[in-house]
Amino acid sequence: MNAPAFLIERLTAPGIAGRREALANLLIACVADGGSLGYRAPLALARARTVFDELADVERNGQALVFTASVEGEIAGCVAIFAEKRETEPHIAELGKLMVHSRFRRHGIGGALVAAAERAAFEWGKTRLYLFTSDDGIAPAFYDRADYQRAGRIPEGGGLPDGTLVDALIFTKKLAGHAV
């Protein structure tokens, strides 16, 4: 397959609600093929829908930035940045909900989603990102490649869709602004 042309967009709460079905199906597919996203497989559609209802609520409350990647109008991936309103750590935020449908992987979409999220996080005043991921599968190599530092390991702190416990890895990255 030639590298697909893709579009990265920020979605606010109404946009998340409008794309809820596609996002829910993306999550179901990623969990079904082993993605360590915090959900057991098989993930029911009703449950997947609530994940994005909750995400829309968090975005509406000003505590998340949400991005999607689409290919010819079809949702191919997403990512979110989460930041609670904390007085003492206003500079830090968590990256999560990163997923790219298996049909569209290894074409730079995940990297482009993370880069867009980092730019927006920096504009939001965030200078440090962190994330947790299971020490299994693709994600650790992806974050190494995206210049995240490994900041720690939590024994049995991660879980696979089949319920197997694995270690969780903590990754972090200092944001220093991006050339446009």
Ligand X SMILES: CC(C)(COP(=O)(O)OP(=O)(O)OC[C@H]1O[C@@H](n2cnc3c(N)ncnc32)[C@H](O)[C@@H]1OP(=O)(O)O)[C@@H](O)C(=O)NCCC(=O)NCCS
Binding residues for ligand X (CB under 6 A): 30, 35-37, 98-100, 105-111, 133, 137-139, 141-142, 145
Contacts of 49 (CB under 8 A, 6+ apart): 20, 21, 24
Report the amino acid identity of residue 97.
K
Residue 119 CB, nearest approach to ligand X (Å): 15
Fill in the amino acid letter for 68: T
Question: In the complex with ligand X, which residue's Cβ is closer, 105 or 119?
Answer: 105
Shortest distance, position 8 Cβ to ligand X, whole Å:
12
- Whether residue 140 has a cis bond before it, omega within 30° of 0: no
- Using Cβ positions, the residue closest to ligand X within the complex turns out to be 110
**What is the nearest approach in angstroms of ligand X to the Cβ of residue 100?**
4
CB of 9 or CB of 62, closer to ligand X: 9
> Does residue 37 come out as left (phi exceeding 0), alpha (psi in the -120 to 50 range) or beta?
alpha
Q: State the minimum distance, in angstroms, from the CB of residue 51 to ligand X.
A: 14
For 15-47, give the DSSP string: HHHHTHHHHHHHHHHHHHTT--SS-PSSPPHHH
Nearer to ligand X, 60 or 120 (CB): 120
Nearer to ligand X, 92 or 115 (CB): 115
